[in-house]
Structures are given as structure tokens and as C-alpha cells.
Chains A and B, each alone.
Chain A
Amino acid sequence: MTVLPAMPIAQPLDALPPPGAPRPFVTPVPHVETLDNGLRVVVASRRTLPLVTIQLLVRSGAETDPPALAGLADMTAGLLTMGTTTRSATQIADAAEALGGELGSGAGWDRSQVSLTVTRPYAAAALALVADVVLHPRFAPRELARARRQAQDHLAVTLGDPGSLARLAVDRAAFGTSAFGHPAGGTPGSLARMTRRDVVAQHQTWYRPDNATLILTGDLDAAGARALAVAAFGAWVRPAAPLPAARTDDTRQVAPASVVIALPDAGQAGIALAAPAIARDATDFYPGVIANAILGGGYSSRLNQELRIRRGLTYGVGSSLDARRGGGVWRIAAQTKNASAAEFVQVTLDEVARMSTSAPSAAELDARKLAVIGAVSRRYETTASLAGVIAGFEATGIAPAEMTRTIAALEAVTADDVLAFARTHWDPAALAIVVAGDAAVADPLRERHPGLRVIAAGDLDLDRADLTRVRPAARPSSR
């Protein structure tokens, strides 16, 4: 064998060297068991560094928000860490951070969760703390008042940013008052209406061991994890009453609206489009993932190629397929200068239409599949993201064993599958459109969208299907 000298070659190489032989990823195999009280425990070992991520997942979230109380699930989850029957909010923060970690809690669609990542020696103490906040929250009125005001302030900032504003409003424009229409973080009106009684009821109804999963990832094995789980959550009592049925409300959209939210002095136009999508258990879920990657996932998607790379209209555009239990939401979002908003919307709709007419080439399909597979694989590299992968399965009712099948399922998607998915599910006319920006964006948009409505930002009402505040009727003049 020849040993190459470690010295420069006279001429630079002028062609790319070929890749070496592939070294496949080894997908972690999650271990699943159910404790006597019904709590599911899912463990995935990753023993490269002394870290453990703990995530307690309640498999119900924003979809359980009552119609007038958008954000109730998120408020309830957020308040868990703000006091228990034996610890104040400050004592909880002190305890979590003395373990080196940061205790987080919140709710999204299909899930409410508490999570904490610590080094291995502190795993048992961290788990005991997570159990305390999940099982024994105090929901003190003072903490509700504080959290309400903080959420309202956060919303106020969101409403001043055209990109955030468009993304916040687009679900209403797509779904009206049906189940997926409300903001999971609440609205100014719903936050004001929320009472302690609502929060306590939310907790009592959904936080129960037979509706929860404890996820443990990192530097532990299944036996060690089980012992930790039993010690922390073994005494959690399963109620005698059956778990209420998951919400089965109509998640179809109303007639998709086209809306401009006129935000004075907006530094850019925020653009968001949304439509109903498949549920996580749909048979064409994996074709949907690849179709979404081709349309708007990652840097080299068709949307980003056309809108950023070719036209220079945006810093980045993306689409997402949020497949939930019982339905889903498909979204496209970006920001562009006000003057480009109409062009941006039209090019986006044209690219969506092209998904149904132009099948991906073999090169495009292979590239986007590998990009997705790589992104999936990298999520196994940290204990926190690995826990997130497992939470995604558990929340949507898919067995975590699906992890070991995911890559093969993605590899199997064909160009015909992608085309069929787009033709079945992606009608540009089904997309609700929200543009938040300068009022002047409306006129050029109206040419292609005659039903366009313009709402002044000050008149926005996120609780209503038409997004418009009802002004008090003018008082009849009295004499």
C-alpha cells in the first residue's frame, strides 16, 4: 500500500471527490412499558454524556380549550411550575436550577408538558420535582393574575410584529370557530376571561396517569428508568371515571378568508397561508412529509428556491405540515417588504399549484428525502431532541416503535406518491391568506383576491371567525 506524502499536491483538484461508503444511522430503540396506574413510560438510552432529559407529557392540549377560553391548556401547564401545595414558585425555580437545569412547561396541540434536562447525578431529584409540579399544583390566584398579565404583554408584542401577527391570525382565517381556529397561547379576550376554576378543572380532567407518558432519555437504561418512574409517579392515582373522549369537533375550515391586517408603520409584510391537513395517522403521512419538504421544507425547497434564491424577496420561506390527532394544519409563512407582498402571495400560490402538475424529478425527490432523513436522524443526537421525537409520537397516538420504521418509510416514498398527495390535499384555493403590513398592500392583492377584507390592527378580534371586533353600536343621540 502506498502512503501518500503529507505535502501539498502541485495542482488543486478540479473535481469533487466521490463520497465514501455510507455509514447508516442507528436509530435508538425506545423501551415502552405501562405502570399499574396506567402511566406509560418510554425510555431511550443515549449514554454518550452524563445527561438525562425528563419529560412528563399529558396527551391533551390546546384542542381541549373551551371555545371561549383559548389558551386554557397552555395557561394550566404554565402555572404548574408556579407553586405546589408544599413549594412556592420561587422555591420551585430555585430547586430546579440548583440541579443545573431549567424547568419548562407549556401546552401545544395534543400535548401539555413539563420538561427538565439535568446531569445524571441529579436525575432522581429532578424527577421528584417534575412529579410534584404535575401532581400537586396550587394554582394560586396571585400566580394566575401574574401569568395572565405576562401572557397579555407577550401577545401585545406579538401583535406589533407583522410576521408573528400574520401567523397568529391565519388559523382563524382558515378554520373560523372550529377546533383548530384558536391561538393555542390564548387571545386578549380569552386570557381576561380565564378563572382559577377553569384552570383547576382543566387539570382535574386531563392530568391523570392513564392520559400521560413519562419520557426519559439519555444516560440511563430501562431498568434504572423504571425504578425512577415508579418512585416519582407510582403513587399517582388513576381516577375511576373514564377519560373524557377526545374532542371530535369539526375541524373543517370555513370558506378560507383572504385578509389584510393593516398595521401602521409595519417594517415589512408578514404573510401566512393555512389550510386543513391530514391527521398524523393518515396512510399518506410520509408522502405528505416529503411533499412538504419539496414545497417548503429546508433551504432548497421549491418555495425558497423561487422566492429567496431566485427573486430575493425574503430572508426565508417555509411550509409546515402539522399533523395532529384527528386532523392537521398546513401552513406557509414568510416576511417580505410591503411592496412585494402581492407578488409573494401569487408566486406562492403558483408553486402550490405546480405541486399538482409537476412531479419531482428523481434528483429532486432523492435530495429532499435525504434532507428529511438527515434532519430526523440528527434529532437522535441530543437527549432533549430525542425526548421531543418520542413526545411527538405519544401525543399523536402513534406507538414510539414507529421510530425504528421512520427512515424506511421515508425512503419508500415515490414521485407518484408525492404527486398524488398534492393532487388530493393541496388546492391553492383552499388556502386562507393573511397579510399583516402596510395598508397599501391591499390594493395589489385585491386584483387576484376580490373577496379580500382589510382589518385595522386596532379592530382585530382573535376570538371571532371574521377576526373583526364588533364595535358597540352608536348610541342614539338623545336630546
Chain B
Amino acid sequence: MRRLALLILVSCMTATTAAPAVSPPAPAAAAAAVAVPPLAFRERTLANGLRVVSVQDHSSPTVSVQVWYDVGGKDDPVGRSGFAHLFEHLMFKSTKHLANEQFDRLTEDVGGTNNASTREDVTNYFAVVPSNHLERLLWAEAERMSNLDVNDANFQSERAVVQEEYRQHVLADPYGRFFESLAPRSYTTHPYRHGVIGNIAQLDAASLADVRAFHATYYRPDNALVIVAGDFDQAELDRWVDRSFGAIARPAAPIPRVDVREPARTRDATYRETGPNVPLPAVALTWLGPPARSADAAALHVAATLLASGDSSRLYRSLVYRQEIAQHVGFSIDPTTDAGLIVAYAIGANGATPATLAAALDAEIVKLATRPIPAAELAKVKLQLVTQALEERETPIGKGMAIGEAVVYHGDPAFANRDLDELQAVSPADVQSALRRYVIDAKRVTVEYTQEKKRRAAPRPTREETATPRPAARAAPGPTRGKP
């Protein structure tokens, strides 16, 4: 049962389709029956290296302006885990010509909204405004790209906010420590192992000098992508972009890039993590996946949808519904530019142990990889993916996000229009060979998570500052600037 009121980590599904009372087009014909209109984007690159992609949509008088910087949690300076995300918050502070939080004056105060998020590979700033405010917002984005001017008071107060974000998502949430432990337990070498949100101690170690250096190093036109989606006139937009961004200099220094490669795993491993106030045990199984632009990514995406999208998905049906050993299940492959992480997880129910949950997850994955996949089930997930894509693209912000992810993870905005075709072309054999290669035949890390033993004998030190500050964070879209 899916309750509307619950915001769920995930979940879901299987086949044997019951005939609906009115018969729709057969799901196999679904993809063909429902056309997803392509995003008619326009792309250009300014002389200073700034890439600009725009897509018009006049269905409402709003426009989304997004700036995606090619820098993320993996680029945190050594000893400064969480820095890229902290920096993202500081981009809303003063610049040469803008006061603190003036971005909110330019967006929220005129009927728009803004936010930002930091992921392992990328930091994106995204706003939507009434379309008559487009030129102002472009100007302001150019201003903070070139003239950020954070002072110490701003830095201190915003760092405290980020530390509260860490406490809220990692320390207060009963499963925060569990999800935060997956990256450090899964990677041995790649900076992805430090996560994104960081920890209290390393955030405390950051300085204003770090902020200035980070801005100079990464926030430059040849490391940025500007996306404009919605209600605008192309000629006007081009003119405004040139005026706002054209004069920003491209620094001579090269942009540092992470060139560390995560080595293949040589063995399976199991780790035991604990936390306070954990009513139900949990387990996660992780494998190293391919980068997002791998030819196998589409097959793995379809596999994840078969396993965990909806109440008819295989993991939900088996662990949550039939066996009743899990409260939640998930199977995710978040896109990354380097080796990604494939994660299967379950939060238990009815006294199931992590070992029981792990065995049940494994059994369903093996079954998918080795037994015939019914055609109707594959058709079902393909129609789910089409429907989800259409829902994402109803808004200017969603259209812009589709473009941004295509550029960041595939190097090409046109991928936003190829993505669904590639998913529709995935065959059962593709699903099974990808699962065999990356999961069945690969080394697995198991993370078991349970309630910590009570240690009442000696008084504990203040918990939040000392609780094993674990390099952190993989939240679905990454930590955001956060709105109440």
C-alpha cells in the first residue's frame, strides 16, 4: 500500500498484468503510443568557454535559469570534506554589487523560487522566475560567478547552518548514519568515498581563504553551463547572455581534475554500523557500477526500475508484501561521471535480521539476472519510465534539469532526447548481462545497520561534535541549500 502522506525513500514491484476493465493500448505498444516531445534546445559556447543551452516553452510565463558548475563533493580540498557543499551555500551571500541574500530578492520576492544542490560531480544553482525577470537573473548569476565577496560573519553563520543540515540529515534521522556510511564503506580510493555533506570537524576546519581559493579555481566561465528553459525570446536571450557573461575572463590556470580511479574490488566485505534510536535493522549491498555514460547504464536503469519502482516491483513485492520482512526496499544507481555505486537496501520488519534481508535482496537480484523476464513486465517499466519523464518535463525547471544531467553525465544535451529511446531499446538479455557483469559476478560490500548498544555506565561526551564524524553524504539529489 502506498500512502499519499508518506514520503518514502523508495520502493517497488512484478508482472502478471490483470486486464483493466477498459482495455488500453497494449503496454508493449506503450512507448510508441505515447510520444515524448523532444526538447528543442539551442546550444552555443561563448568565447570565454561558457556553454549555454536554451529551450523555449511558452506554456506559462515563467523561465528557469540554472548554472551548473563542473565541481562537486569529489573536489573537496584535502581535509575539508563537505567544502563544495558549504561553498554552494555561500554563493547566496554578498558579491561586489549584490547584498547578502539578494538572490532571494530577485527570485522569491518577485514570485519565483531558487535553490541549489551539490552532488559528487556537480553543483547546480537553479531558479525559476516570472519571465520578465530573466535578464536580471542572468546578470546576477554572472555577478556571483565573477564577483563573489563573502565576509567572515557570513561565512561563520552559514557554516553553522550547514552543520545543522548535517545534524538533521545524518544525526537526527534514525537512518542518516546508515546512508552516510555507504560511500566510505564502498570506495577505497576515489574521493567519492568522502561523500558530500562532510562532517562537523572538517567543516570547522574550513576558512575564508579556502572559500576565495575555491571560487577562483572552479567558478569560471569555462567550467560552467548556463541553462535557460521556458518563456523567452531567443534573440533577446542571446543578447542578454552576451552582455552578462561575455566579459567574464577565462583564467589561464588549468582547472584541477580528479584523475583518481577506483580500483576493482578484490574481495567481498561486510561492515557493521550502529546508531541510536534505530527501531528496525537495515542492510545495504553495494557494488561498483559503471560511469553514467557507459553503454550499460540504460540496462542497469531498467534493472533498477524492475527491481524497485512501484508496488509491483520485484523487491517490494517479495520483501515488503509477500515475505513481510522489510518496511522499505530500494535499488539505486545514481549517475556519476566516474565509477558509480549500485545500491540495494532494505529496512527490516517483523524482526528480520540484516542477514535475512541481505539474502532476500540477493535472491531477487539473482532471479532477475538468471530467469526469463516476462515481456509484459519489461513493457510495464518502459511505460513507467516514459510517464515519469513526461511528468518531469511539465515545468521549466524540470526541462532544465533534464538538459543539465545530459550535459554533466553524457557530455551532450541531445542525450536528453536520446535517453528514452535507449531505455526503450533495452532487451531482457541486456538487463541480464549488465546485472551479471556488475552485480552477480562482482565483489559485494555489505553494510549492516542496527541499534547501538546502550552505554550508560560512563557519561558520554557531547554527542554531536564527537559522534564518529564520518565522511558523508549521498542524499538522492545531494544536499541542497534547503528551504523551510
| A-to-B contact residues, CB < 8 Å | 4, 6-25, 48-51, 74, 78-79, 81-82, 87, 89-108, 113, 115, 117-122, 124-126, 128-129, 132, 143, 146-147, 149-150, 153-154, 156-157, 159-163, 184-185, 231, 263-268, 270, 296, 298-301, 303-304, 308-318, 334-338, 366-368, 370-371, 373-375, 377-378, 380-384
Chain A residue contacts of B136, Cβ below 8 A: 16-19
Chain B 316-351 residues near chain A, CB threshold 8 A: 317, 320-321, 324, 327, 347, 349-350
Q: Which B-chain residue is minimally distant from A376 (CB atoms)?
A: B111
Chain B residue contacts of A156, Cβ below 8 A: 279-280
Task: Knowing A160-B278, A312-B159 are in contact, say whether A78-B383 is a contact too (CB < 8 A).
Answer: no
Chain B residue contacts of A24, Cβ below 8 A: 61
Chain B residue contacts of A161, Cβ below 8 A: 172-174, 277
Bound form: Cα–Cα A5–B160 in Å? 46
Bound form: Cα–Cα A22–B133 in Å? 8
Counting CB contacts under 8 A, is B205 at the interface?
A: no
Q: In the bound complex, do residue A129 and residue B21 qualify as a contact, i.e. CB atoms below 8 Å apart?
A: yes
Q: Which of B1, B17, B109, B167 contacts A105 (CB 8 A)?
A: B1
Question: Which 3 A/B pairs are nearest by Cβ-Cβ distance?
Answer: A267-B171, A374-B111, A312-B160
Q: Which B-chain residue is minimally distant from A131 (CB atoms)?
A: B21
Counting CB contacts under 8 A, is B251 at the interface?
A: no
Q: Which of B276, B379, B395 contacts A378 (CB 8 A)?
A: B395
Q: Which of B35, B170, B173 contacts A50 (CB 8 A)?
A: B35
Cβ of B432 to closest chain A Cβ, rounded Å: 21
Chain A residue contacts of B292, Cβ below 8 A: none
Cβ of A422 to closest chain B Cβ, rounded Å: 19
Task: Knowing A94-B16, A161-B174 are in contact, say whether A104-B3 is a contact too (CB < 8 A).
Answer: yes
Cβ of A88 to closest chain B Cβ, rounded Å: 8
Q: Mark the stretch among B23-31, B211-219, B252-260, B353-361 that contacts chain A.
A: B23-31
Q: CB-defined interface of B84-112 with A at 8 Å, one 1/0 digit per residue?
A: 00000000000011001100111011111
Most buried by A among B112, B171, B246, B484: B484
Q: In the bound complex, do residue A125 and residue B5 qualify as a contact, i.e. CB atoms below 8 Å apart?
A: no
Cβ of A241 to closest chain B Cβ, rounded Å: 29
Task: Knowing A125-B23, A312-B158 are in contact, say whether A100-B384 is a contact too (CB < 8 A).
Answer: yes
Q: In the bound complex, do residue A299 and residue B34 qualify as a contact, i.e. CB atoms below 8 Å apart?
A: no
Q: Which B-chain residue is minimally distant from A384 (CB atoms)?
A: B391
Q: In the bound complex, do residue B312 and residue A121 qualify as a contact, i.e. CB atoms below 8 Å apart?
A: no
Q: In the bound complex, do residue A10 and residue B174 qualify as a contact, i.e. CB atoms below 8 Å apart?
A: no
Q: Which of B3, B111, B393, B463 contacts A370 (CB 8 A)?
A: B111
Bound form: Cα–Cα A96–B139 in Å? 46
Q: Which B-chain residue is minimally distant from A82 (CB atoms)?
A: B1
Chain B residue contacts of A384, Cβ below 8 A: 391
Task: Knowing A99-B20, A298-B484, A370-B110 are in contact, say whether A23-B34 is a contact too (CB < 8 A).
Answer: no
Q: Which A-chain residue is minimally distant from B100 (CB atoms)?
A: A309
Q: Which of B4, B174, B247, B390 contacts A119 (CB 8 A)?
A: B390
| B-to-A contact residues, CB < 8 Å | 1-6, 13-25, 27, 30, 33-35, 37, 46-48, 59-62, 96-97, 100-101, 104-106, 108-113, 128, 130-136, 139-140, 142-143, 146-147, 156-161, 163-165, 167-168, 170-176, 231, 238-240, 242-244, 246-248, 276-280, 309-312, 317, 320-321, 324, 327, 347, 349-350, 376, 379-380, 383-384, 386-387, 390-391, 393-395, 452, 463-464, 467, 482-484
Q: Which of A82, A96, A97, A371 contacts B111 (CB 8 A)?
A: A371
Bound form: Cα–Cα A97–B324 in Å? 21
Q: In the bound complex, do residue B1 and residue A94 qualify as a contact, i.e. CB atoms below 8 Å apart?
A: no
Bound form: Cα–Cα A124–B23 in Å? 8
A-B contact pairs, 14 of them (CB 8 A): A96-B312, A105-B1, A119-B33, A121-B34, A161-B277, A163-B172, A267-B463, A268-B168, A301-B484, A337-B163, A367-B109, A378-B128, A382-B391, A382-B395
Cβ of B23 to closest chain A Cβ, rounded Å: 7
Q: In the bound complex, do residue B172 and residue A267 qualify as a contact, i.e. CB atoms below 8 Å apart?
A: yes
Q: In the bound complex, do residue B484 and residue A21 qualify as a contact, i.e. CB atoms below 8 Å apart?
A: no
Q: In the bound complex, do residue B24 and residue A97 qualify as a contact, i.e. CB atoms below 8 Å apart?
A: no
Q: In the bound complex, do residue B110 and residue A8 qualify as a contact, i.e. CB atoms below 8 Å apart?
A: no
Task: Knowing A51-B394, A100-B384 are in contact, say whether A149-B280 is a contact too (CB < 8 A).
Answer: no
Q: In the bound complex, do residue A316 and residue B383 qualify as a contact, i.e. CB atoms below 8 Å apart?
A: no
Task: Knowing A8-B47, A315-B165, A371-B111 are in contact, say whether A263-B324 is a contact too (CB < 8 A).
Answer: no
- Please name 15 further chain A to chain B contacts, defined as beta carbons within 8 Å, in addition to the given A96-B312, A97-B309, A267-B171, sorted by A numbering: A12-B146, A14-B96, A17-B136, A18-B136, A23-B231, A101-B384, A104-B2, A104-B4, A125-B23, A129-B20, A266-B276, A310-B157, A335-B168, A335-B172, A375-B113
Chain A residue contacts of B238, Cβ below 8 A: 6
Q: In the bound complex, do residue B172 and residue A270 qualify as a contact, i.e. CB atoms below 8 Å apart?
A: yes
Chain B residue contacts of A89, Cβ below 8 A: 1, 321
Q: In the bound complex, do residue A268 and residue B171 qualify as a contact, i.e. CB atoms below 8 Å apart?
A: yes
Q: Which of B61, B106, B176, B243 contacts A9 (CB 8 A)?
A: B243
Q: Which A-chain residue is minimally distant from B310 (CB atoms)?
A: A97
Chain B residue contacts of A337, Cβ below 8 A: 163-164, 167, 464
Bound form: Cα–Cα A12–B311 in Å? 54
Chain B residue contacts of A7, Cβ below 8 A: 242, 246
Q: In the bound complex, do residue A300 and residue B109 qualify as a contact, i.e. CB atoms below 8 Å apart?
A: yes
Q: In the bound complex, do residue B15 and residue A94 qualify as a contact, i.e. CB atoms below 8 Å apart?
A: yes
Chain B residue contacts of A303, Cβ below 8 A: 484
Q: In the bound complex, do residue A160 and residue B390 qualify as a contact, i.e. CB atoms below 8 Å apart?
A: no
Bound form: Cα–Cα A317–B158 in Å? 15
Q: In the bound complex, do residue B349 and residue A150 qualify as a contact, i.e. CB atoms below 8 Å apart?
A: yes
Bound form: Cα–Cα A7–B304 in Å? 47
Bound form: Cα–Cα A122–B379 in Å? 14
Bound form: Cα–Cα A6–B5 in Å? 51
Task: Knowing A160-B174, A313-B164 are in contact, say whether A299-B157 is a contact too (CB < 8 A).
Answer: no
Q: In the bound complex, do residue B387 and residue A101 qualify as a contact, i.e. CB atoms below 8 Å apart?
A: yes
Q: In the bound complex, do residue A380 and residue B25 qualify as a contact, i.e. CB atoms below 8 Å apart?
A: no
Cβ of B357 to closest chain A Cβ, rounded Å: 14
Q: Which of B163, B173, B242, B350 contacts A8 (CB 8 A)?
A: B242
Q: In the bound complex, do residue B327 and residue A25 qualify as a contact, i.e. CB atoms below 8 Å apart?
A: no
Bound form: Cα–Cα A99–B30 in Å? 9
Bound form: Cα–Cα A383–B59 in Å? 13
Bound form: Cα–Cα A340–B99 in Å? 28
Cβ of B222 to closest chain A Cβ, rounded Å: 14
Bound form: Cα–Cα A185–B19 in Å? 33
Q: Which B-chain residue is minimally distant from A88 (CB atoms)?
A: B18
Chain A residue contacts of B393, Cβ below 8 A: 49
Q: Which of A119, A121, A318 contacts B484 (CB 8 A)?
A: A318
Chain A residue contacts of B161, Cβ below 8 A: 308-309, 312, 314-315
Chain B residue contacts of A311, Cβ below 8 A: 157, 160
Chain A residue contacts of B279, Cβ below 8 A: 153, 156-157, 159-160
